[in-house]
Structure 1
Amino acid sequence: MSLFDDAVLVLKGYEDQDPEQDALRRLYLDHLAAHPDGMWKACRDGHLTASAMVIDPSRGRVLLTLHRKLRIWLQMGGHCEPEDASLAASALREATEESGIAGLTLLPGGPVRLDRHHTPCAWHLDVQYAALAPKGAVEAISEESLDLRWFPYDAVADVADDSVVRLLEATRAGL
């Protein structure tokens, strides 16, 4: 199955009671129907991305990256690559690369949230997952980060924007 086909299946199966989330799900599906290249950065009308909130529930904290280009605290994530077998695999790859943590596992059940935002390259139609950090996880800053830091749940709103706060809320609800 292609990454495109996987994305369509994931989005068709994504269920959320929030009408805004359902509207985004439909927008993502319409975008893919209109753009066969809608998975790739080259699609200037926007493209799907995959991200993951790295969480350590045993210590009540999440790992955020200070994005090198955007200079804001975000979850790990980015563009899909041709070698990604699925959106989940893309999110897990991005989380592992950007956190430096081996052994991350995605929460079962698929994405926890959708978020559409404009970036310097195009609109990102982000499919957001949650990744559990293994016990004793040690992070390592990647080339894409200015900083990498664990934040207690209640400190996230002080450093990150509302989209990250909403992702944390959805992630915690998924636990």
Structure 2
Amino acid sequence: MRWHNGPVSITIAHLREHLTAYLHRWPESECEVRPLLDLDSPSGFDRSTVPGHVTASAIVLNAADEVLLIHHRALDRWFQPGGHLEPGDESLPAAARREAVEETGLGALELLDPAPIHIDVHPIPANPRKGEAAHDHYDVRYLFRAAGTDLTPAAAEVHAAEWRPVGDLDSDDLIARLKSY
């Protein structure tokens, strides 16, 4: 597990390009996306930025249309794989792919759409052990298809990784959107 508090190579222009593509497809989501559209500094990608910062997640489907979920150690909940942006991440989808591979041990992941499938704003509780105040994650989610199904969870970050029914995802909007693919 790598913890990073420095600048990333992803730009505000890149984020806005992806948000524009997202809103073109899902215009009803403008209220949730507004805080991201208002970002004007690369510090919005830095994990130390409060009240919130951008993260990237992978919604990964297998051939049976099951979704990959991880059980997060710190939050004690099932989520899609994802996390903070790091130097070297060339794009938001690349960051989502990297996180999914790191957390689950999956190999090849095919990006099914270059535009995000979902954007979610969710609170993260304070973590005194890491010196982090409570904050929000502006989670930009991308849809991938996995070539294989063998999982090797990264024990430092997750308790488990499993293929689960799509209905186990944390958002009814996201579940509905998956039906359009």
- For these two proteins, the number of residue pairs brought into alignment is 162
Separation (CA, whole Å) in 2 of partners of 1:8 and 1:18: 14
Separation (CA, whole Å) in 1 of partners of 2:73 and 2:14: 30
Indicate the RMSD between aligned Cα atoms, in angstroms. 1.8
Q: Does structure 1 conserve the Cα–Cα contact (< 8 Å) formed by 2:113 and 2:142? A: no
Segment drifting more, 3-12 vs 80-89:
3-12
- Does residue 43 (structure 1) correspond to residue 49 (structure 2)? The answer is yes
- Does residue 105 (structure 1) correspond to residue 114 (structure 2)? The answer is no
1:140 pairs, out of 142, 152, 177, with 152
Corresponding residue number in structure 1 for 2:3:
none
Q: Does structure 2 conserve the Cα–Cα contact (< 8 Å) formed by 1:53 and 1:167? A: no
* Deviation string, structure 1 residues 86-134 (Cα, Å, up to 9, x no partner): 1111111111111210101111231101100010241100101111010
Could you tell me which runs of 5 or more consecutive residues in structure 2 were left unpaired when the two chains were aligned. 1-8, 126-133
Q: 1:14-53 residue pairs with structure 2 within 5 A?
A: 14=22, 15-19=24-28, 21-30=29-38, 32-33=39-40, 35-53=41-59
- Does residue 172 (structure 1) correspond to residue 179 (structure 2)? The answer is yes
User: What is the percentage of aligned positions where both structures have the same residue?
Assistant: 36
- SS state of the match for residue 123, structure 1? strand
Shift of 1:45: 1.9
Q: 1:1-175 residue pairs with structure 2 within 5 A?
A: 2-4=9-11, 5-14=13-22, 15-19=24-28, 21-30=29-38, 32-33=39-40, 35-56=41-62, 58-120=63-125, 121-134=134-147, 136-142=148-154, 143-154=156-167, 156=168, 162-163=170-171, 165-173=172-180, 175=181
Shift of 1:60: 2.9
Q: What amino acid does structure 2 have at the position aligned with 1:168?
A: I
Q: Does structure 1 conserve the Cα–Cα contact (< 8 Å) formed by 2:114 and 2:142? A: no
Q: Does structure 2 conserve the Cα–Cα contact (< 8 Å) formed by 1:16 and 1:22? A: no
* Deviation string, structure 1 residues 3-44 (Cα, Å, up to 9, x no partner): 02311221133223452x1222222111x12x4400110212
- SS state of the match for residue 38, structure 1? helix
Separation (CA, whole Å) in 2 of partners of 1:101 and 1:91: 13
Separation (CA, whole Å) in 2 of partners of 1:99 and 1:169: 25
- Give the TM-score normalised by the residue count of structure 2: 0.81
Q: What amino acid does structure 2 have at the position aligned with 1:44?
A: V
Higher helix share: 1
Task: List, as ranges, runs of 4+ consecutive aligned residues in structure 1 with deviation greater than 3 Å.
Answer: none
